[in-house]
Structure 1
Amino acid sequence: MTSLSLPRGMGSFFKECEHPRSRWSKCPHLYKIRFRGVDGRQAEESGFATQDDAVERLSEVYNAKKAAPRSQAKAQRVAKYGAMRFGDYAAEWKAGQRDLGPASVAHLDSLLSIHLLPQLGSRRMNTFDHKVVEGFIRTMERNGVGLAAQSNAFDKLKAILLDAHRLGLFDDNPVMGVKAPQYDPKRVVIPSSAQLPGIRAAGDDSFLLVADLMSGCGMRNGEAYAVNLNNIVADDVYRISEQVNRTTGQYERLKHRKVDEYRDTPLPARTRRTIEWYADKYGTVDGYLLRHPSDPSRPFPHYHISNQWRRIKKAGQTDIPDGMVVYSLRHFFASNCLNHGIPITDVAEWMGHKTIEVTYKIYRHLMPGSIGKAAKILNLDLVA
């Protein structure tokens, strides 16, 4: 879909077809428009035969918004959404989260159905304030909800109420000043370079391949399951462009990425040799190395590696650190990078973190002595 934005506040028109913008005037597909109405909510309309028709309709909406007094528009929003039940408002808000993948949608549905809606679903939106939010957190505490779930539920409630606050439903943000649940995730457990060889060789060939992709290129589990020979774009570069989604079991876009977006990561020689060895031994299907054990036409299932991991740990024949999970192999990649002086900004990009703050939060402890090292380097010119 290609879209052309008009002056700020007017909206945009576009066509949802495969034709480039230069062909819009000749292709038979109808135009659509997207805009924000007087109530501040985003809306779409379709069925416009020409670009001029689409722009004319956008102009009508824009002029109507300008003509309506700001206080009147706010009053309309408050009247419409203020009396709305939280459950209904949350459903509308969820419909607007078009960037979420299936796994994220499933997680959101779980938080809503288990924590948010049972407590708050029937509450009117205009009755929220900081005491209601604090009461929600206290109820979760009394019910013995884990801190991770408390934190996630609070974050979703905060996002929904912030959306309502932007519409003008509250004079004061209801979550302002509320102390969030104090969730402090445990420090990640990372295998040492001495432990890694035994771990990578403890399962079958597919386990070894996945272990090398995660520890050598920093792939997430699902990204490793979608490894494709065609994604070796240079002898030392692998292009991560998709993943096997745990929820759907299908190839889908990357986490925090749009469709067709990718990230390039370093490809160590040993990891490349493992990819080539596996391809030579088992062949590929459209370039994919890992396929469903009983049906090569289907993607590789997540449970195949997790089942092996449980058997490996139960056997106790390999030195595995306490608390280590398969995902720890990805942490090894970050540790290996940082221990060899690779900038954390590069590590964040290669690992596909949404923001560098995520990388710092997880791996800051892997850079001990960095301040002391900096002090020594800075001192060189100071004493020259």
Structure 2
Amino acid sequence: MTEIYKAKKAVPRGQAKAERIARYGAMRFEEYACEWKAGQRDLGPASVVHLESLLNIHLLPLLGNRRMNTFDHKVVEGFLQTLERNGIGLAAQANAFDKLKAILLDANRLGLFDDNPVAGVKPPQYDPKRVVIPSPEQLQQIRTAGDDSFLLVADLMSGCGMRNGEAFAVNLNNIVADDVYRITEQVNRTTCQYERLKHRKAGEYRDVPLPARVRQTIECYASKHGTVDGYLLRHPSDPSRTTTSPTSGNGSRSDAPPPQHHPPPRLRRTSARCSRRPTPRPPSTPRPGGRGTHRRPPCATSPPTTRRPPACAASETPAGTPVERATVWTSRTPTP
């Protein structure tokens, strides 16, 4: 062992770099990206799926056969221009560029390039539009766009400020007080399992205000559809499985694990503010278009809900009656 150590120490630093260049320089990008991905041990299941999707859809088809020692800023710029010609959205372009940049910077640390291949390349300018909080009228349309499970998710997201996955993991046992709900877990859209909260460690939780209307929706759903270990939203054909898709207005449900469909209408985690509830529409009156009429692709069948009991009605409060104002955990003060 001593002889081996002395032999390696006697090797000039330039020779070690030359060996790395000889080994990795001729390697194809696809092979190098595979080795790089194996070292990303901090990624969660959903992040791994997202990384593999970017590699398989955008990076490898265009750069997979290129040798690593042939990359420069012109190659990277050409890659971005190809994405633009193919009509790829700015968000996907930005994500693909970030992954390509991370891989090439890793290769640059090995000394494969004389110059940084991403230096001077302008990344795609993705500037998402400002999210607009639904108005009371739009929120009412969203709440009445589906059946009981859709109403439950809409109330949890708008009244308690929950994320999608947190609303799907609603549990009757998490009502720690008449006006407090404790969020302890969420449903992972990739694994379809209950997991820790996003950006938090296992066992951590957060308490949010629970408006009376939302608590009534939870209790009504539990009494009508039952629970499994306190969980309300379960798979329609297998109660032992979680569900990540509430049913839409036509009674259909989509529970495929891969996120190939659109999530339900996204309600931002902010203050749920309603001043007056509109008069309920007659059953024969078609609902107007917009965010409230978002439909999900049918997958499994479920009998459509034609009429809710009075306790579950979305508009049991007479028109003109003030509705409670729920300020959620973001501590943002609602505007009057």
Same fold (TM over 0.5): yes
Distance (whole Å) between structure 2 residues aligned to residue 63 and residue 281 of structure 1: 77
Deviation at 1:335, TM superposition (A): 5.4
Deviation at 1:290, TM superposition (A): 0.9
Structure 1 pair 85/325, CA: closer, same or farther in 2 (3 Å)?
closer
When structure 1 is superposed on structure 2, of 187-196 and 202-211 the one drifting more is 187-196
Residues 292-311 of structure 1 mapped to structure 2, 5 A cutoff = 292-302=235-245, 304-305=246-247, 307-308=248-249
Structure 1 pair 213/133, CA: closer, same or farther in 2 (3 Å)?
same
Distance (whole Å) between structure 1 residues aligned to residue 36 and residue 233 of structure 2: 38
Residues 227-376 of structure 1 mapped to structure 2, 5 A cutoff = 227-233=170-176, 236-257=179-200, 260=202, 262-270=204-212, 271-302=214-245, 304-305=246-247, 307-308=248-249, 326-329=264-267, 331=268, 333-334=269-270, 336=272, 347=330
Structure with more strand by fraction:
1
Deviation at 1:121, TM superposition (A): 0.6
- Name the aligned partner's letter for residue 326 of structure 1: P
Higher relative contact order (CA 8 A, sep 6+): 2
Deviation at 1:149, TM superposition (A): 2.1
Is there any run of 5+ residues in structure 2 with no aligned partner, and where? 253-261, 274-324
- Is contact 2:185–2:205 with CA below 8 Å preserved after alignment? no
Deviation at 1:227, TM superposition (A): 1.3
The total of aligned residue pairs comes to 271
Residues 107-122 of structure 1 mapped to structure 2, 5 A cutoff = 107-122=50-65
Deviation at 1:210, TM superposition (A): 0.6
Secondary structure of the corresponding residue to residue 298 of structure 1: coil
Secondary structure of the corresponding residue to residue 207 of structure 1: helix
Structure 1 pair 71/277, CA: closer, same or farther in 2 (3 Å)?
farther
Q: What's the counterpart of residue 167 of structure 1?
A: 110
TM-score by length of 1: 0.59
1:217 aligns with 2:160: yes
- Is contact 2:147–2:251 with CA below 8 Å preserved after alignment? no
> Alignment partner for residue 226 of structure 1, among 147, 159, 169?
169
- Name the aligned partner's letter for residue 144 of structure 1: G
Structure 1 pair 367/209, CA: closer, same or farther in 2 (3 Å)?
closer
Q: What's the counterpart of residue 199 of structure 1?
A: 142
Measured on the aligned residues, the alpha-carbon RMSD in Å equals 3.9
Alignment deviations for residues 170-225 of structure 1 (CA, whole Å, 9 cap, x no partner): 34332122111222323324211343234223322211111111112322222211
Is there any run of 5+ residues in structure 1 with no aligned partner, and where? 1-61, 312-323, 351-362, 369-384
Deviation at 1:296, TM superposition (A): 1.4
Distance (whole Å) between structure 2 residues aligned to residue 175 and residue 310 of structure 1: 50
When structure 1 is superposed on structure 2, of 67-76 and 196-205 the one drifting more is 67-76
TM-score by length of 2: 0.67
1:139 aligns with 2:82: yes
Secondary structure of the corresponding residue to residue 241 of structure 2: strand
Distance (whole Å) between structure 2 residues aligned to residue 143 and residue 207 of structure 1: 36
- Is contact 1:213–1:224 with CA below 8 Å preserved after alignment? yes
Structure 1 pair 177/290, CA: closer, same or farther in 2 (3 Å)?
same
- Name the aligned partner's letter for residue 216 of structure 1: G
- Is contact 2:197–2:205 with CA below 8 Å preserved after alignment? no
- Is contact 1:217–1:265 with CA below 8 Å preserved after alignment? no
1:101 aligns with 2:37: no
Secondary structure of the corresponding residue to residue 159 of structure 1: helix
Deviation at 1:280, TM superposition (A): 3.5
Alignment deviations for residues 273-297 of structure 1 (CA, whole Å, 9 cap, x no partner): 4333333433321221111122212
- Name the aligned partner's letter for residue 184 of structure 1: D
Secondary structure of the corresponding residue to residue 96 of structure 2: helix
Distance (whole Å) between structure 1 residues aligned to residue 13 and residue 200 of structure 2: 36
Residues 70-85 of structure 1 mapped to structure 2, 5 A cutoff = 74-85=17-28
- Is contact 1:133–1:178 with CA below 8 Å preserved after alignment? yes
Distance (whole Å) between structure 2 residues aligned to residue 239 and residue 274 of structure 1: 16
Distance (whole Å) between structure 2 residues aligned to residue 205 and residue 310 of structure 1: 10
- Name the aligned partner's letter for residue 334 of structure 1: T
Q: State, as a whole percentage, how many aligned pairs show the same letter.
A: 71
1:125 aligns with 2:60: no
- Name the aligned partner's letter for residue 281 of structure 1: K
Deviation at 1:163, TM superposition (A): 2.3
